Amino acid sequence: MKLIDTIGRALRFDEPDGRFELLETERGEPSFFHGRKRSPAPETPDTRPVPKSLRESRRRLETAFSAEVNRDLILRDFRFCGSVNALAVFLNGMADGAEISDFILKQAMARSLPRGGKGLADYALREVFSLQEAEKTDRWAQVEGAVLEGRTAVLLEGEREAILLDTRGYACRGVGTAQNESTVIGPAEAFHENLRISVTLLRRIVRRADFVCEFRDVGSKNNVKLCLCYLDGICNEGLLQEVKKRLDGVKTDLLLSAGTLGQQIEDRPWSPAPQTLLTERPDRAAAAVMAGKAVILVEGSPQALILPVTLSGLLLTAEDGYLRRPAGSILRFVRLFGAAVSVLMPAYFLALAYHHQGLLSSDILSTVVSSRKLVFLPMGAEMIFLLLVFQLVREAGVRVPGAVGQTVGIIGGLILGQAAVSANFVSTVALIIVALTGLGNFVIPNYDLQIAVGCYRVALCLLALSGGLLGLSCGIMAALVLLCDQKSFGVPFLSPYAPKTVAREPLFFRGGITGQGTAQDDVNGEAAL
Amino acid sequence: MNLRLGRFGKQESACAVGLAALVSGVFSVNVGDTFARGNLCYAATAAGVLLSLLLLHLLDRAMVRLGARELADLLSGGLRFLALPLALGLVLSAVLPLFRFTLAMERYIYVEADYVPVVLYLLPVLFIMVLCGMECIARMGKLLLIPAALALALTLLLASPAFAVHHLFPLFSPGFPAFLEQTGSALLRFLAPGLALFAVGKGCQGRKNTLGGVDRGLLLGGAGAALLHLGLGLTFFGPDMASMTAPVYCMTMAARQERLGLRLDVLVLFLWVAAGLVAAAFYLYAAALLLCRTMGVEDLRPVGALLTLLCMGLVLLFNFDSDAVLSAVRHIYRRGYLLLALPALLLWGRSLLHRRRP
């Protein structure tokens, strides 16, 4: 009987079989190429005022926060100064309960109402609540936003204004050390997920009255808090306007980190080269601020976003400035050499080995030939395979936590490499070249740039494989043209070299430390050199 | 409006002109005709640079007189048709070095390859550069100045063991008429970079900067080209060079030896190719902008793409082994400068009839 039912149900189109199915809503049909065509719901800003009636306020809050099921929302009724009905609203866990008890409820209940009783909100703000950060508002949207941030909103019966009190007190970790941008010399502390702590870390270094930390909300509904930091009067006004315009244009709901924000506001999303610099070091962000750049800190992200950025800026480390000039210059030169080796070496080797054997001396050629005697893979496939294995080892090392990650790197690098050579899977020469390439790649201080270099490396390898040195030269030229054409917030990516600008930090040698803090020429700061 | 002109400074403009002058000065020489009766090219190159500078300064005076900010502003009042010969001259200036590079690569490096695939590798890069615009080309010029200088130095260094002063003798053997003819044909090589910068003058932030870029670039690039021709003269007897496809490449092979375990001659050639691509893109962009400005076209991309295709088509055509093509190519080498020099003189002459603007 059950079987007949099942067969019958399968043959009918009108009745569901009772299994759960996530049905499409009527939000639009998928387009042919570009995913779903959405008809975005029009967003109307909430311009409602704070209601006079406490009951209406409660109703609005319960509706907005789904209070029936959402037990995080605390609606605490009390009598303000013993005579006025009042409501304290906060999110459990986001707000500090002790602060609410000691500085809001206890203070409000202990007093009696003065004569007159008009301007209650003002009175409460001035004489009752003894919290350091407090403000009043007549806009309902601000009340909801404040509660979401962990602040406490106090609503008074008959008052058109609500009082917002800073009681944020959620749990967070302490200030940690920089993990990805570690240096031998210099400060070790890193930015924090808590926006306030991050701003403080920055303020501790930039102790200037004109250092502005502008707090803003971005995103359509999620309202992520961020802080735009710059030196007023030093940072170019046009740059600031452009940054603010782009931040206003961010419409995504999911903004989890500074990296996501960077992708939302950059010029060319498809370019492999990064157009903003992510750093976890407050000293580096402070140096950028002093140089006339803008820094964005995002709530919940332990990194700062520096913009605009140039290629030479991406190749700098915080340590360059801490070392003496000759040592800093040598390190920088080594880094540039490593980056060049990382991009060019495999492709150059492939071009020579495949198309221009005559260019190699007989000694080198005989070494290459003897190392490949029993290797069965073609040289191009061998090189691409090894580059892929290198990326695998690296990715595994990064994803596996702590000491195990290092072990994976060692196993991958030594044992796998040795085994591959013994098994005649790859030649020793190719292995050496990929190892050097990997070392060069790790010398590049910026993670985004390391990945970008990997993209260019593979593209150049393929071009060298197909066209030898001609393919390689054309590939390099094409890459350079695209980099020349790229701008980060209006600043040419290859400045200060092309176009030439007056730079405190030349490309190859470290500049002097005198005059640091003056805005750089390439960012057209108001106090440029 | 999508002319992709952008803005570029003094260094970038001087580098673009210098690179173009160096590449054209060295690789746009008709080897067969120029060296058949001896070698005077180094002297003719120097004279050509000076003559070109004179003509370009006259053109600059004309621009001052008429208040023009770039070459297209001069082409008004019935002289718009001059944009065509000027653009053609610029396109030919792009074609000649690319043709020589392609020939050299096909004959010396990719011996088993055809001519067409070599051209096809160059085409996309040229396309990207022209479409990215002048700002990008000028920056590429700045970036490639050091590699080009390195190529020049390495070429001379690699050939230096084969240098012998007696290769230059008998001095002035081709005679004065040949010298004049070679100086004339050098005008095509050295007028083109200057005119190209005048064509994109609005991006160069002022007429003074444009003229400064032309002066510095032409003097630097011209000096480099003359030096290389002198090096060629010291390496080979003139008539020996007449049968070579690319004497500059042969020069690096003249004293063949390994340095650092590598042969550097091919690397040097590819450095020249990279510089040549930037120079060609510079000429093509300038020609496209000139046509756009005079015809009122507001989007450079179609014109730029068409000129790039025309350029590469001509590079392919020049390799055809037919008498008509060979004769046309020879005429271009000999008289091609008229496409640039005559309009320049005409524009200067016309400006004399106008009163100076206050």
Q: What is the pLDDT of residue B205?
A: 82
Residues 96-125 of B with CB under 8 A from A: 105, 109-110, 118, 121-122, 124-125
Distance CA A396, CA A411 (A): 11
CB B207 within 8 A of CB B60: yes
ipTM metric: 0.93
* Nearest CB neighbour to A499, from listed B8, B129, B261: B8
Asked if A474 and B121 come within 8 Å (Cβ–Cβ), the reply is yes
CATH of the domain at B254: 1.20.1740.10
Per-residue model confidence as pLDDT tens digits over B8-56: 988 999 999 999 999 999 999 988 888 877 788 899 999 999 999 999 9
A126 domain-assigned: yes
Quote the number of domains for chain B: 1
CB B21 within 8 A of CB B223: no
* One domain for residues A354 and A471: yes
B2 domain-assigned: no
Give the range of the structural domain holding residue B239, as residue numbers without chain letter: 10-351
Per-residue model confidence as pLDDT tens digits over A309-357: 999 889 988 888 888 888 888 888 899 999 999 999 999 999 999 898 8
B356 pLDDT band (50/70/90 cuts)? low
Q: What is the pLDDT of residue A528?
A: 45
Asked if A474 and B122 come within 8 Å (Cβ–Cβ), the reply is yes
Q: The tokens of A81 are what?
A: 């100064």
Angstrom CA distances, B96 to A27, A241, A252, B323, B336, stand at 59, 48, 53, 18, 11
* One domain for residues A264 and A327: no
Residues 276-295 of B with CB under 8 A from A: 277-278
CB A503 within 8 A of CB A496: yes
Helices (H), A165-214: 195-205
Q: Over range A73-96, report the average pLDDT.
A: 90
* Nearest CB neighbour to B128, from listed A356, A473, A478: A478
Query: At residue A28, does pLDDT exceed 70?
Result: no
* One domain for residues A149 and A199: no
A24 pLDDT band (50/70/90 cuts)? low
Give the range of the structural domain holding residue A459, as residue numbers without chain letter: 323-492
A210 domain-assigned: yes
* One domain for residues A137 and A253: no
DSSP, collapsed to helix, strand or coil, labels residue B336 as coil
Q: Which of A45-49, A259-263, A383-387, B91-95 has the highest mean pLDDT?
A: B91-95
B314 domain-assigned: yes
Query: At residue A507, does pLDDT exceed 70?
Result: no
Q: What is the pLDDT of residue A242?
A: 92
A59 domain-assigned: yes
In A147-223, beta strands by DSSP E: 152-156, 162-165, 211-218
Exposure string of B186-221, with b = 16+ CB inside 10 Å and e = fewer, is bbbbbbbbbbbbbbbbbbbeebebbbebbbbbbbbb
**Cα dihedral across residues B34, B336, B213, B101: positive or negative:** negative
Q: What is the pLDDT of residue A27?
A: 54
* One domain for residues A300 and A351: no
Kind and range of the H or E run holding A74: strand A73-80
CB A136 within 8 A of CB A161: yes
* Nearest CB neighbour to B277, from listed A477, A492, A497: A477
Residue B3 CA to chain centroid, in angstroms? 23
B132 domain-assigned: yes
Which of A96-100, A113-117, A256-260, B116-120 is least confident?
A: A113-117
B356 domain-assigned: no
A502 domain-assigned: no
Query: At residue A529, does pLDDT exceed 80?
Result: no
Hey, what long-range contacts does A440-443 have (CB within 8 A, 24 or more apart)?
A: A440/A337, A440/A338, A440/A339, A440/A340, A440/A341, A440/A342, A440/A343, A440/A345, A441/A338, A441/A342, A442/A338, A443/A334, A443/A335, A443/A338, A443/A339, A443/A342
Count Cβ atoms within 10 A of the Cβ of residue A110 and give its class: 0-12 exposed, 13-18 middle, 19 or more buried. Answer: exposed
Q: The tokens of A266 are what?
A: 């950059």
Q: Which residues of B fall within a CB distance of 8 Å from A498? A: 12, 139-140, 142-143
Kind and range of the H or E run holding A307: strand A304-307
* One domain for residues A343 and A434: yes
B5 domain-assigned: no
Backbone phi, psi, residue B76, to 5°? -125, 170
Per-residue model confidence as pLDDT tens digits over B70-115: 899 998 777 899 999 999 999 999 999 999 999 999 988 888 888 8
The answer for A73, left when phi > 0, alpha when psi is -120 to 50, beta otherwise, is beta
* Nearest CB neighbour to A498, from listed B105, B142, B262: B142
* One domain for residues A368 and A480: yes
* Nearest CB neighbour to A477, from listed B125, B139, B266: B125
Which has more pLDDT, A442 or A111? A442
Q: Is A527 on the interface with B (CB under 8 A)?
A: no
Per-residue model confidence as pLDDT tens digits over A440-470: 999 999 999 999 999 999 999 999 999 999 9
Q: What is the pLDDT of residue A116?
A: 65
Residue A67 CA to chain centroid, in angstroms? 33
Quote the number of domains for chain A: 3
A176 domain-assigned: no
A179 domain-assigned: no
Q: Which residues of A fall within a CB distance of 8 Å from B143? A: 480, 484, 494, 497-498
A521 domain-assigned: no
Q: What is the pLDDT of residue B124?
A: 94
DSSP, collapsed to helix, strand or coil, labels residue A304 as strand
* One domain for residues A150 and A281: no
Q: Is A336 on the interface with B (CB under 8 A)?
A: no
A516 domain-assigned: no
String of DSSP letters for A435-500: HHHHHHHHHSS-HHHHHHHHHHHHHHHHHHHHHHHHHHHHHHHHHHHHHHH-EETTEETTTTTTTT
* One domain for residues A249 and A359: no
- Mean of the per-residue pLDDT values of chain B: 90
String of DSSP letters for B121-180: HHHHHHHHHHHH-HHHHHHHHHHHHHHHHHHHHHHHHHHGGG--GGGGPSTTTT-HHHHH
Angstrom CA distances, A167 to A131, A164, B119, stand at 8, 9, 70
Q: Over range A283-312, report the average pLDDT.
A: 92
Amino acid at A227: C
B261 pLDDT band (50/70/90 cuts)? low
Question: Residue A354: closest CA among chain B residues belongs to which residue?
Answer: B110
* One domain for residues A201 and A160: no
Q: Is A478 on the interface with B (CB under 8 A)?
A: yes
Closest CA relative to residue A427, chosen from A376, A374, A371: A371
Which of A113-122, A252-261, B88-97 is least confident?
A: A113-122
CB B140 within 8 A of CB A484: yes
Q: Is A358 on the interface with B (CB under 8 A)?
A: yes
* One domain for residues A357 and A481: yes
